[in-house]
């Protein structure tokens, strides 16, 4: 139970992604991949700072790659465990484990080249050519610009080494074959989006933060319901629909909804009415400008009228 709790929300989403892919285009030989780029990332202070921001708050890497207290409403990362092996997710068949991504030479990424780390983050290929289980949201991270990916690598290199290795993930057949078909190499440069056009920049942030991975590609929610030890919870409709989405939420309300998690008392526990698996506490560290840009982008997606009961009673779940 404790384990399940720890990765609450992560297993099912990944599994749905796996099943959604279907078995078309499966290759027996191995995933489509390209050799890792030989580039060497220069660790400037500016890059490390940008990488810290992206890893903690935009990519929310430590919602998986760290030790956390998931009963707390703010789900804080245990300080100093950023990048540590996060155990294995029992919600999956086989073994799905959160890798150690600290700078430890054997247990972590210490001996990987910068290009190998960049390829794992955006293209889903491990150092040895193995396809990563897509619970690692490489499909969302694929949109990280070259410059932001370099920043992530520069920052990961600064994480204090943890010697605790993570078991290598292994999925049973046929999932093992399905995940092989998922990676596709990036072709060419991934340019950084305009930061002056807030809708374009908001779209970028929304994509790399993986909002659509949980709320659905149409952002209408209700696509993912998890039965947690505290009770069931579904993803919300975050389209601009006035009645069933966030159409009535002002930009200020939206930003505040996130920022409120920074002030939460860490001893505040989740209840059946508040349980969530959205990493609010990590996203809350995004700047107001970035959260505002996400809001501006979400205003432009088609409104979907779809009533979602975010905290259904167990009876409502059974009826579905
Ligand atoms: C939702 C959970 C989740 C999030 C968020 C996440 N990861 Fe992962 N990551 C995983 C899992 C699971 C694996 C292992 C997959 C496997 O072994 O097949 C992994 C593997 C990796 C690997 C490859 C390690 C290896 O030994 O092969 C790297 C590098 C990595 N993640 C970096 C990141 C970075 C950087 C971020 C944030 C930008 C991030 N991850 C966010 C779940 C996550
Ligand atoms: C790991 C899954 C997950 C991710 C990633 C995620 N969400 Fe959520 N989100 C949820 C769940 C579950 C709920 C409903 C429970 C709650 O309110 O926390 C929710 C609720 C919300 C709400 C509250 C809606 C309301 O009507 O009160 C907003 C706003 C929201 N998400 C925006 C976002 C944005 C923007 C992103 C990307 C930056 C995002 N979410 C990423 C799972 C996720």
Percent of the chain with pLDDT over 90: 78
Ligand closest to the CA atom of residue 106: 1
Atom of ligand 2 nearest to the CA of 10: 1
With the most atoms of ligand 1 within 8 angstroms of its CB, the residue from 16, 36, 136 to mutate is 136
**How confident is the model over 212-227, as pLDDT tens digits?**
999 999 999 999 998 8
Per-residue pLDDT tens for 182-201? Answer: 999 999 999 999 999 999 99
Pocket test for ligand 1, best of 132, 280, 286 (most atoms within 8 A of CB): 132
Q: Write the CA distances from 40 to 50, 118, 124, 164, 172, integer angstroms.
A: 17, 11, 20, 26, 36
Structure tokens at 311: 């905290």
How would residue 316 be classed by pLDDT, with cut points 50, 70 and 90? Answer: confident
- Tell whether ligand 1 has an atom less than 6 A from the beta carbon of residue 175: no
∠3-6-11 over CA atoms, to 5°? 85
CA of 59, nearest ligand number: 1
Cα-to-centroid distance, 317 and ligand 2 (Å): 19
Model confidence at 28, in pLDDT bands (50, 70, 90)?
low
Tell whether the model's pLDDT for residue 102 goes beyond 70.
yes
The answer to whether the Cα torsion of 18, 19, 21, 26 is positive or negative is positive
pLDDT in tens, 231-258: 899 999 999 999 999 999 999 999 999 9
Ligand 2 atom nearest to 310, measured from its CA? 14
| Four-CA torsion 71, 282, 110, 29, nearest 10 degrees | 90
Of 21, 293, 50, 255, residue with least CA distance to 139: 21
Rounded to an integer, what is the distance from CA 229 to the centroid of its chain? 22
User: Which of 5-9, 65-69, 287-291 bottoms out in mean pLDDT, i.e. has the lowest?
Assistant: 5-9
- pLDDT tens digits for 168-181? 999 999 999 999 99
Q: CA end-to-end span of the chain, whole Å?
A: 24
Give the residue with greater pLDDT, 21 vs 61: 61
How far away, in angstroms, is 235 Cα from ligand 2 center? Answer: 6
Counting from 1 in the atom list of ligand 1, the atom nearest the Cα of 58 is 38
Nearest CA to ligand 1 atom 24: 99
Average pLDDT, integer, range 276-286: 95
Cα–Cα distance list, 234 to 12, 69, 214, 298 (Å): 12, 21, 9, 19
**101 Cβ closer than 6 Å to some ligand 1 atom:** yes
Angle at 53 between CA 159 and CA 69, to 5 degrees: 65
CB 22 within 8 A of CB 172: no
Give CA–CA dist 115/130, Å, rounded. Answer: 15
Per-residue pLDDT, averaged over 65-80, amounts to: 87
Ligand 1 centre distance from Cα of residue 41 (Å): 20
User: Mean pLDDT, the chain, as a whole number?
Assistant: 90
The pLDDT of residue 255? 98
């Amino acid at each position: 139970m404790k384990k399940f709790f720890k990765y609450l929300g992560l297993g099912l989403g990944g599994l749905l992604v796996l099943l959604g892919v279907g078995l078309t285009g499966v290759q027996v030989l191995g995933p489509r991949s390209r050799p890792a780029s030989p580039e060497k990332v220069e660790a400037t202070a500016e890059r490390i700072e940008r990488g810290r921001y992206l890893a903690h708050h935009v990519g929310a890497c430590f919602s998986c790659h760290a030790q956390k207290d998931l009963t707390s409403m703010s789900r804080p990362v245990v300080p100093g465990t950023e990048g540590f092996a996060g155990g294995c997710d029992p919600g999956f068949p086989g073994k799905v484990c959160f890798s150690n991504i600290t700078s430890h030479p054997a247990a972590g990424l210490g001996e990987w080249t910068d290009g190998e780390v960049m390829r794992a983050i955006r293209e889903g290929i491990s150092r040895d050519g193995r396809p990563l289980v897509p619970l690692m949201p490489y499909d969302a991270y694929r949109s990280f610009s070259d410059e932001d990916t370099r920043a992530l690598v520069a920052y990961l290199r600064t994480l204090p080494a943890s010697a605790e290795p993570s078991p290598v993930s292994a999925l049973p057949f046929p999932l093992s074959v399905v995940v092989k078909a998922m990676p596709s190499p990036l072709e060419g440069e991934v340019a950084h989006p305009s930061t002056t056009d807030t809708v374009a920049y908001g779209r970028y942030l929304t994509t790399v933060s993986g909002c659509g991975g949980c709320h659905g590609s149409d952002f209408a929610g209700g696509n993912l319901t998890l039965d947690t030890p505290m009770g069931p919870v579904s993803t919300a409709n975050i389209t601009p629909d006035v009645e069933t989405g966030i159409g009535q939420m002002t930009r200020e309300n939206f930003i505040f909804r996130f920022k409120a998690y920074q002030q939460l008392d860490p001893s505040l526990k989740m209840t059946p009415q508040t349980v969530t698996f959205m990493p609010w506490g990590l996203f809350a560290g995004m700047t107001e400008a970035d959260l505002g840009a996400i809001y501006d982008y979400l205003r432009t997606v088609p409104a979907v009228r779809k009533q979602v009961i975010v905290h259904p009673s167990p009876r409502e779940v059974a009826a579905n």
